[in-house]
Amino acid sequence: MPISGKRGLCDACAMAELSIVFLGHPQPRHSGDWLHRVTWPAQALGGLAQTSSVQTVHPQWVKQALQADVLVVLMIAEPILTEVMRHRRAAGRATVFEISDDFAAVAAANPLKGFYARPEVQELIRQLAAQADAVQFSSDFLAEKYAHLNPHRATFRNQLLAVPPAREGVEHQPLRIGWAGSLGHLEDARLLAGWIAAWPGREAVRWCLMCGSEIAQVFEHAGVKAEVRPTGSMQEYLEFLGGLDVGLAWVGDDDFSRGRSDGKFLEYAAQGVLPVCRNSPVYASTLKDGVTGFLFDGEADLHRLLDRLVADPAEVRRTGEAARTHVAQWRCHAVNSGERLAFYSGLVELRSASARGCQEEISPLEADIYAGMELVNQQKYVEALSQMLGVMEREPEFFFVWQVLETICTRLGRLEEAQQCARRKAVLLYEEMPF
pLDDT tens for 379-397 read: 999 999 999 999 999 999 9
Between 7 and 365, the more confident residue is 365
236 confidence band (pLDDT: 50, 70, 90):
very high
Q: What is the pLDDT of residue 433?
A: 67
Q: Are 43 and 161 in contact (CB under 8 A)?
A: yes
CATH of the domain at 390: 1.25.40.10
Displacement of CA 42 from its chain's centroid (Å): 14
CATH of the domain at 119: 3.40.50.2000
pLDDT tops 90 at residue 306: yes
Q: What is the pLDDT of residue 3?
A: 33
Residue 354 sits in the same domain as residue 380: no
431 confidence band (pLDDT: 50, 70, 90):
low
Q: If you ran DSSP here, which 8-state letter would residue 165 be given?
A: P
Displacement of CA 96 from its chain's centroid (Å): 16
- 183-209 pLDDT, tens digit per residue, is 878 888 999 999 999 999 999 999 999
pLDDT tops 80 at residue 355: no
Residue 238 sits in the same domain as residue 286: yes
Residue 323 sits in the same domain as residue 182: yes
Give residue 151's domain range.
Answer: 11-161+332-360
205 in any annotated domain: yes
% of the chain residues with pLDDT over 90:
79
> pTM of this prediction?
0.90
Residue 189 sits in the same domain as residue 280: yes
Q: What is the pLDDT of residue 112?
A: 84
Cα separation, 33 vs 30, in Å, equals 9
Contacts of 289 (CB under 8 A, 6+ apart): 279, 295
Mean per-residue pLDDT of the chain? 91
Residue 198 sits in the same domain as residue 291: yes
250 in any annotated domain: yes
Residue 141 sits in the same domain as residue 78: yes
2 in any annotated domain: no
Query: Hey, what amino acid is at 175?
Result: L
Cα separation, 227 vs 225, in Å, equals 7
Give the DSSP H/E element, type plus range, for residue 266.
helix 263-270
5 in any annotated domain: no
Query: How far, CA to CA in Å, does 82 sit from each of 128, 200, 350, 422?
Result: 7, 57, 24, 19
pLDDT tops 60 at residue 8: no
Residue 49 sits in the same domain as residue 88: yes
pLDDT tops 70 at residue 12: no
Q: If you ran DSSP here, which 8-state letter would residue 71 be given?
A: E
Residue 183 sits in the same domain as residue 323: yes
pLDDT tops 90 at residue 182: no
pLDDT tops 80 at residue 1: no
Residue 236 sits in the same domain as residue 371: no
Cα separation, 344 vs 341, in Å, equals 5
312 in any annotated domain: yes
354 confidence band (pLDDT: 50, 70, 90):
low
Contacts of 216 (CB under 8 A, 6+ apart): 209, 226, 228
Residue 180 sits in the same domain as residue 323: yes
166 in any annotated domain: no
Q: What is the mean pLDDT of residues 309-320?
A: 95
Between 109 and 361, the more confident residue is 361
Question: What b/e string do you get for 154-193 counting C-beta neighbours within 10 Å, with b at 16 or more?
Answer: bbbbbbbeebeeeeeeeeeeebbbbbbbbbbbbbbbbebb
Residue 339 sits in the same domain as residue 385: no
Domain total in the chain: 3
Q: What is the pLDDT of residue 108?
A: 80
Residue 15 sits in the same domain as residue 153: yes
291 in any annotated domain: yes
Q: What is the pLDDT of residue 131?
A: 98
Distance from first CA to last CA of the chain, Å, rounded?
A: 29
pLDDT tops 60 at residue 16: no
157 confidence band (pLDDT: 50, 70, 90):
very high
- CA 11, 12, 15, 18 torsion: positive or negative? negative
Number of helices and strands (H, E) in the chain? 21, 15
- 115-140 pLDDT, tens digit per residue, is 899 999 999 999 999 999 999 999 99
Cα separation, 192 vs 397, in Å, equals 50
pLDDT tops 60 at residue 105: yes
Q: Are 389 and 402 in contact (CB under 8 A)?
A: no
Q: Is 299 helix (H, G, I), strand (E, B) or coil?
A: helix
